[in-house]
Amino acid sequence: MKLNVLYEDNHIIVVEKPCNIPSQADKTSDEDMLTLVKKYIKEKYSKPGNVYVGLVHRLDRPVGGIMVFARTSKAASRLSESIRTKEFSKGYLAIVHGTLENKVGTLENYLYKDEALNKSMVVSNEKKGAKLARLSYKVLAEKNNMSFIEIALETGRHHQIRVQFSNINHPLVGDQKYGKGDNNVQIALWAYKLQFKHPTKSEILNFSKNPPCTGVWEDFI
């Protein structure tokens, strides 16, 4: 697969992750983004031996969009710290079933991840292992009993967007795990925006990339 590189320097590389490609190697042994980035750097710069690439954040396998990888351990450490201190901003576009009563709003829940099922659920804040999940959203358009929304994550919990919208009875179109079983429909969730401070410069970097204008996105993009 040809890697779509949006930006690169000696410290970071920003790329577009296609849908259905794992962020890192999993039990399927399918081609993954971390391996692809390593291969790209090794070949482009004729690097001997192993190439260091740090994975600092992930996207669910079916979800596409922008990812940043670290090219040095210092960059990986600083990017991870910016995520922890919420100086790393991620924006998503999604299409959900139905029309939302509140066109601008915030969703706040406690989520618990079932490791055995690889699935998260909304639970009481008293449940052991429950973690606060919070996001804000804005409806951009409505059509054919679907809503096109922009989402800003304030926390980064497992399957957070998918679980929280399913919990208010507006599951994501194409979500096989938390949705309405839309057969043969690609999940309508895309990481379209990243903003973060460069790990070695006093510079704020902004990247954006719209989803491909195919499938259900054609009604809105």
> For 12-58, what is each residue's pLDDT tens digit?
999 999 999 999 998 888 999 999 999 999 999 999 889 999 999 99
CB 123 within 8 A of CB 111: yes
pLDDT tens digit sequence for 135-187: 999 999 999 999 999 999 999 899 999 999 999 999 999 999 999 877 788 99
* Overall residue count recorded for the chain in this entry: 221
Domains in the chain: ranges and CATH: 4-219 (3.30.2350.10)
Helix (H) or strand (E) holding 137: strand 131-143
Going by C-alpha positions, the residue among 96, 119, 118 that lies closest to residue 107 is 96
